[in-house]
């Protein structure tokens, strides 16, 4: 399915039904009086978070959504049927903006979250409601009130525990495919990955976390170079970053300089991203030239205070240790504690989904 992370839609709640003008007519009943019923209320519009969704693709080719109107009232004091509510199912992490004012209406982050977006109109009163001692045959009714409506801008920011960052072709897609059921396109040329990929990684039996592969980060990304800022927003909600560094000849430039280059782009996009915890994965250690440089480069990163994990997603070397460390750190972060020591372990077994 195509990845879509921003759309504009028009949404309207249902209008209330008109009240009925009716008088009771039965044999042997003189002057039966008014018996027009009220109109039904219009259907409301609700937003529902659906964890099975990961894109706004369903809204790409359908821009207008409307709940059902309330039915008009009927004689014999029968009220009209209420309009059916409309539910719009959205992926977790969707931001709902008023397109006219730019105001944020809802931030949908909780699974199965259900919020009222627009309320349906009220049904109008039938003429039976207006009968009084001095006006026994009212011919007045009310129309239903219109339902609320508006134009919305939906923006998706993926919810993930770990964000994979690094230059194109650094091994991010291969890694996420090795530790989860995600199946991104993998090839030996830059910008193979054109959309973010989410994968659920299991560790320690029944524990898991969500990893996101964010494509398109190069020098100048925050200014629109490469894939530009289109996908940078998807790293804003991650708990920490796993920075993939490629030491092979496929990656030009000094590894440390490339590392700082990506961090600078993250910082320029949103200053708070610089404060997030970060690990370093030295990828493609199955290549001889990479293995020869790994220890030296690892030491350079460790001098700067980063924990480093050499690994090969192809052979699986070092992958289990990395997953265990990520699980350990996430548990510490969620508990509000400091990062754990490098020697700690929280998982005896690990396996991809």
Query: What integer pLDDT is reported at residue 254 of this predicted model?
Result: 83
Q: Looking at the structure, do residues 65 and 132 belong to the same domain, yes or no?
A: yes
Pair 4, 137 in one domain: yes
Query: Do 174 and 118 belong to one domain?
Result: no
Least-confidence region, from 93-107, 134-148, 283-297: 283-297
pLDDT of residue 209: 87
Q: Is the domain of 167 the same as that of 292?
A: yes
Nearest C-alpha neighbor of 53 from the set 11, 19, 5: 5
- Domain termination site, one of 156, 179, 208: 156
- State whether 92 and 224 are in the same domain: no
Check pLDDT > 70 for residue 91.
yes
Q: Which of the pair, 299 or 251, is modelled with greater confidence?
A: 299
Q: What is the pLDDT of residues 39-70, one digit of tens each?
A: 999 999 999 999 888 888 889 889 999 999 99
pLDDT at 247: 83
Among 90, 122, 156, identify where a domain stops. 156
Kindly state the average pLDDT of the residues 274-281. 87
295 has pLDDT over 80:
yes
Same domain, 176 and 224: yes
Q: Are strands 104-108 and 149-156 parallel, antiparallel or unpaired?
A: unpaired
For residues 233 and 153, which has the higher predicted lDDT (pLDDT)? 153
User: Is residue 188 within a helix (H) or strand (E), and if so which, with residue range?
Assistant: none
Averaged pLDDT, 128-157: 93
The number of folded domains in the chain is 2
Among the ranges given (82-86, 112-116, 133-137, 219-223), the one the predictor scored with the smallest mean pLDDT: 219-223
* Statement to judge: residues 25 and 166 lie in one domain: no
* Residue 277 CA to its chain's centroid (Å): 22
Domain CATH number, residue 136: 2.70.210.12
Does one domain contain both 136 and 167? no
Look at the pTM and tell me if it is higher than 0.85.
no
pLDDT tens digits along 315-352: 989 998 999 999 888 888 878 755 544 444 333 444 44
* Whether residue 224 sits in one domain with residue 109: no
User: What does the alpha-carbon distance between residue 122 and residue 144 come to, in Å, rounded to a whole number?
Assistant: 6
Residues 176 and 123 in one domain: no
- Residue 202 pLDDT level (bands cut at 50, 70, 90): confident
Give Cα separations from 160 to 28, 81, 105, 243, 313 (angstroms).
Answer: 74, 43, 22, 15, 20
Domain boundary among 123, 156, 189: 156
Nearest to 266 by CA among 294, 303, 235: 235
For 165-254, where are the alpha helices, taking DSSP H only?
172-179
**CATH number of the CATH domain containing 323:** 3.40.50.300
Domain region containing 233: 162-352
Percent of the chain with pLDDT over 90: 40
- 115 and 230 both lie in a single domain: no
What was the pLDDT predicted at 226?
43
Whether the predicted pLDDT of 189 surpasses 50: no
> Is the distance from CB of 65 to CB of 149 less than 8 angstroms?
no
Mean pLDDT of the residues in the chain:
83
Please compute the mean of the pLDDT values over residues 131-158 and round it to a whole number. 92
Are 111 and 213 within one domain? no
| Structure confidence at residue 229 (pLDDT) | 57
């Amino acid at each position: 399915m195509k990845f879509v992370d921003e759309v504009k839609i028009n949404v309207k709640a249902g209008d209330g039904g008109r009240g009925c003008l009716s008088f009771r007519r039965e044999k042997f009943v003189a002057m039966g009086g008014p018996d027009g019923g009220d109109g039904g209320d219009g259907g409301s519009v609700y937003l529902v978070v659906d964890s099975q969704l990961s894109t706004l693709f369903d809204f790409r080719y359908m821009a207008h959504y409307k709940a059902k109107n309330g039915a008009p009232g009927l004689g014999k004091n029968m009220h009209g049927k209420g309009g059916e509510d409309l539910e719009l199912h959205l992926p977790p992490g969707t931001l709902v903006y008023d397109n006219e004012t730019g105001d944020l209406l809802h931030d949908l982050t909780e699974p199965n979250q259900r919020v009222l977006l627009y309320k349906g109109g009220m049904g109008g009163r039938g003429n039976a409601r207006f009968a009084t001692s001095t006006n026994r045959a009212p011919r007045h009714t009310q129309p239903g009130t219109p339902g609320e409506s508006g134009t919305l801008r939906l923006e998706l920011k993926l919810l993930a525990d770990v964000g994979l960052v690094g230059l194109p072709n650094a091994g991010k897609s291969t890694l996420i495919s090795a530790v989860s059921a995600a199946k991104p396109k993998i090839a030996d040329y830059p910008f193979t990955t054109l959309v973010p990929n989410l994968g659920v990684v299991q560790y320690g039996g029944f524990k898991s976390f969500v990893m996101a592969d964010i494509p398109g980060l190069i020098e100048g990304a925050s200014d629109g170079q490469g894939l530009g800022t289109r996908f940078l927003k998807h790293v804003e909600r991650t708990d920490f970053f796993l920075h993939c560094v490629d030491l092979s000849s496929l990656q030009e430039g000094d590894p440390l300089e490339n590392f700082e280059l990506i961090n600078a782009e993250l910082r320029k996009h949103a200053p708070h991203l610089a404060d997030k915890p970060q690990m370093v994965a030295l990828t493609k250690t199955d290549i001889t030239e990479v293995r020869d440089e790994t220890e030296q480069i690892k030491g350079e990163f460790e001098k700067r205070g980063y924990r480093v994990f050499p690994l090969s997603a192809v052979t699986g070397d070092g992958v289990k240790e990395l997953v265990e460390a990520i699980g350990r750190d996430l548990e510490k972060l969620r508990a509000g504690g400091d990062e754990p020591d490098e020697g700690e372990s929280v998982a005896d077994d690990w396996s991809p989904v």
